[in-house]
Amino acid sequence: MTILSYIFLIIGALFFLLGGLGVFRMPDTFNRIQAGTKATTLGAFSIIVGVLFGSVENHLDWIPKLIIIIVFIVISNPVGSSTIAKATYRSKNIPDNLIQDDLKERGEKQ
Amino acid sequence: MRKLFGLAITFALGLVIILALNNTVNFPAFGEVNLSERISGAYLSEDNVEEVGSANLVTSIVIGFRTFDTLGEVTVLFISSLGVAFILGRKKQKRMNLNFKPNFMLRVGSNILLAIILVTSFYIILHGHLSPGGGFPGGAMIASSVLLLYLADDRFRSNIKGFKLLEGFAGSLFVIIGLLGLVFATAFFANYLPTGTIGNFLSAGIIPIIYVLIGLKVGSEIAGIIDNFLTEEERA
């Protein structure tokens, strides 16, 4: 159980590292949003799952709290990133090399 | 001229404070205080902690020994919310218009998050005598959930009358519990309920009850302030 918990912790830390790297290295806003939120969602998820596996042995009372934190992150992070992306689209901060624009096809005003 | 005068007064006041506090008996140098001679040392001594029965030392000071002080803090918050209501509160109100229409995902997501935020805030309030937190942060979390709904849902309108009722109810019950201390014990806000074992959920006498009331009061007060800020007068 401890080894499983360490594996999840390392995966989480790796995703945090990649997310932080992506925020600096990605070329435009949408890619940065994706790197900043998708990677950190999975990173936080894995780290909390790792803590959950680690707490099975002697901290059973942590488990419901950790599950609530997971639900919070899994809902709040994607919703926040989608809202930021929509706001970016509306502020016309769109990269030039955008190929597919579904919102424009649906007749959404910018 | 005025600025020069203000500067001179500031420096003079600072000099007076420094001279008054420097090397006097009541203000010893940094790190040379014997805490056991002070009142704060008495708060931390083992017998007194046992007497209050709260596992959280901060709570045992804030609600156990200095509840009257906390009543003052709650009053400060009450007066500030009253002032905001005096200036901004009008009878016919509509909520502030958002510049954009929040999409479906934001609305539904924030409604789900609201449940989690409220559960967490009540957890923090109820465990105020066991773990860090308590009435004030928990109440601020309740108010933050109202702010979240205001910003994420363009049709949301909080029930300000319900908040006012809850605030008055919690505040008066807080004082009534304190006054009951005069009946069942010797002092205002005396801890007259059995304290139980330290660390149990049902322990520390009246502290959890007072913290629940403070949490409800702080939450409804800050929610009322937010509501006053985010509504505007309806133009006839």
- Supply the DSSP string of B33-86, one letter for each residue: --GGGSHHHHHHSHHHHHHH--SSHHHIIIIII-HHHHHHHHHHHHHHHHHHHH
In a domain, B48, yes or no: no
CB-CB under 8 Å, B109 with A76 = yes
Window A:60-89, CB contacts with B under 8 Å: 68, 71-72, 75-76, 78-79, 82-83, 86-87
For residue B194, the enclosing domain spans: 55-233
CB-CB under 8 Å, B116 with A90 = no
Supply A89's token pair.
């689209």
pLDDT per residue over B76-117, tens digit each?
988 988 888 888 776 667 777 777 777 788 888 888 888 888
CB-CB under 8 Å, A72 with B110 = no
Helix/strand/coil for B128:
coil
Contact B139, B73 (CB under 8 A): no
In a domain, B22, yes or no: no
Rounded to the nearest angstrom, the minimum Cα separation between A10 and chain B is 28
Task: Tell which of A69, A70, A72 to mutate to test the B interface (max B CBs under 10 Å).
Answer: A72
Distances (CA, A) of B172 to A52, B30, B63, B179: 43, 42, 17, 10
pLDDT per residue over B17-43, tens digit each?
888 777 666 666 677 777 677 777 777
Contact B95, B102 (CB under 8 A): no
pLDDT of A110? 45
Distances (CA, A) of B191 to A8, B53, B69, B182, B195: 47, 10, 15, 10, 8
In a domain, B3, yes or no: no
CA neighbor of B64 nearest in space, from B171, B193, B216, B170: B193
Nearest to B105 among A72, A82, A90 (CB): A82
Rounded to the nearest angstrom, the minimum Cα separation between A69 and chain B is 9
CB-CB under 8 Å, B100 with A90 = yes
Distances (CA, A) of B72 to A88, B69, B96: 46, 5, 33
Domain count across chain A: 1
Q: How far apart are CA B203 and CA B8, in angstroms?
A: 55
Q: How far apart are the two ends of chain B, measured CA to CA in Å?
A: 48
Supply A30's token pair.
């949408």
What radius of gyration, in Å, describes the C-alpha atoms of chain B?
23
CB-CB under 8 Å, B112 with A82 = no
In a domain, A110, yes or no: no
On whether any CB of chain B is under 8 Å from the CB of A103, the answer is no
Distances (CA, A) of B90 to B29, B106, B107, B156, B233: 53, 30, 28, 18, 6
Contact B217, B74 (CB under 8 A): yes
For a pLDDT cut of 90, what percent of chain A falls above it? 3
Rounded to the nearest angstrom, the minimum Cα separation between A110 and chain B is 11
Q: How far apart are CA B227 and CA B220, in angstroms?
A: 10
In a domain, B39, yes or no: no
Query: pLDDT tens digits, chain B, 236 residues: what are they?
Result: 888 999 999 999 999 888 877 766 666 667 777 767 777 777 777 777 777 777 777 887 888 778 888 888 888 988 988 888 888 776 667 777 777 777 788 888 888 888 888 888 888 888 888 888 878 888 889 888 888 888 887 777 767 778 888 888 888 888 888 888 788 777 777 777 777 777 777 777 788 888 888 888 888 888 888 888 887 777 65
In a domain, B163, yes or no: yes
For residue A87, the enclosing domain spans: 2-94+101-105
In a domain, A25, yes or no: yes
> Residue B38 has what DSSP assignment?
S
Supply B229's token pair.
């800020």
Supply B131's token pair.
């773990």
In a domain, B32, yes or no: no
In a domain, A87, yes or no: yes
Nearest to A79 among B106, B119, B120 (CB): B106
Place of tokens 């989690």: B116
In a domain, B204, yes or no: yes
Which residue on chain A is closest to B119 by alpha carbon?
Answer: A68
CB-CB under 8 Å, B116 with A79 = no
Task: Tell which of B98, B99, B103, B107 to mutate to test the A interface (max A CBs under 10 Å).
Answer: B103
The pair phi, psi for residue B201, each rounded to 5°, is -65, -45
CB contacts < 8 A (A, B)? 27
Distances (CA, A) of B20 to A4, B14, B28, B29: 62, 10, 12, 13
Window A:18-37, CB contacts with B under 8 Å: none
Domain count across chain B: 1
CB-CB under 8 Å, A83 with B116 = no
* ipTM of predicted complex: 0.74
Contacts 24+ apart (CB under 8 A), B194-199: B195/B51, B195/B52, B195/B53, B196/B53, B197/B53, B198/B49, B198/B50, B198/B53, B198/B54, B198/B55, B199/B55, B199/B130
Rounded to the nearest angstrom, the minimum Cα separation between B62 and chain A is 26
